Amino acid sequence: MSDKRNNCVILLVDPPVPEKTETGLRDSFGAERGVHINLDLLQNAHKLAKNFKDAILLLSYEKIGRYPDLTWLDADDPGFLEAKGGNLEERITSAFHLAFNTGSKKVLLLSHLSPAVKPDWLHQVFDSLGDKTVALGLNQDGSFYLIGLTLNNFKLLEGLSFMSSKTALDFSEKAKRSKLNVFLPPETYAIKNEETLRKWVEAKDAAPALFLDEPHNQPPAEIPAPQPQPEEKKTGRYGGGNQRPSDSG
C-alpha cells in the first residue's frame, strides 16, 4: 500500500431530512423511516472510511440551516467540501477535482447504500488502481457501490450520469473503449427494500431490529437474478438498474 496521502475516499453526505434522503429509500420505507435508515447507512459508511488508515477521507456535504456542520454524523466534526448547488454529476466531479488537486493519485467514490463493504475490498481497489486500470464495485442489482480511478482516467467521468440505471454499465464500456482494465472487487448488495434491509440487520452482531416491520425468524430469500430492462429508468443516486457490465479482460 502506498503512502496514505496518495489515496482518497470520497463519500457524499446529505443532511438527515426527508427532502435530502435517497429517493429509493423514501419510496420503499416512507419519508420518516427512510431518513432513519439513510442516517444509519451514512454513519456505517463514514465509520468504514474514517477507520480506513491507508487513505484520506473527503466528505462532500450539502448543508442546510438546520444542519450547518457534520456534528450529527461525527462528534469530532470532520469538516467537509461544501456542495454548492449544481447537479449530482457536478458535485462528484468537484470532489474528484479537489482530491486530485490536493495531491491524491488514486481516488474512489464510495456509496453509503451498500453497508457490507469491507476494508479489505478498499485495500484491493487501491492496490489495483493505475493508469491502465480502473475499479468498479458492483451490487447484485446492477448498481455500483464504488468507482475508482487515477487522474489520467478522470475523463471517464465526463458525460457519465450518476442518476441512470446504467451508470455501472456505461462506466465499464467507456473504460474498455479507452483500452483500460476494469478491476472488480467482490460483489455485494444495496439497501433498497425490506429484504435487503433485513439481510444487513441480521448480519450485524447483536443488532437491534429498530427499522424492521416485525420479527421474522426465517432466513432472507435469495435476491433474484438481475433482469434486463427494455429502457433506461431514472432512479436515485448511484443508479439502481438491473443491467450489469461484463467482466473486464
Q: Give the model confidence (pLDDT) of 173-198 as tens digits.
A: 999 999 999 999 999 999 999 999 99
pTM of the predicted structure, to 2 decimals? 0.82
Q: Which among 135, 131, 126, 111 is positioned nearest to 45, based on CA atoms?
A: 111
* DSSP-based three-state secondary structure for 135: strand
Q: Which three cell numbers stand for residue 4?
A: 496514505
Q: Give the model confidence (pLDDT) of 41-51 as tens digits.
A: 999 999 999 99
Q: Are 225 and 124 in contact (CB under 8 A)?
A: no
Assign domain 4-183 to its CATH architecture: Alpha-Beta Complex (3.90)
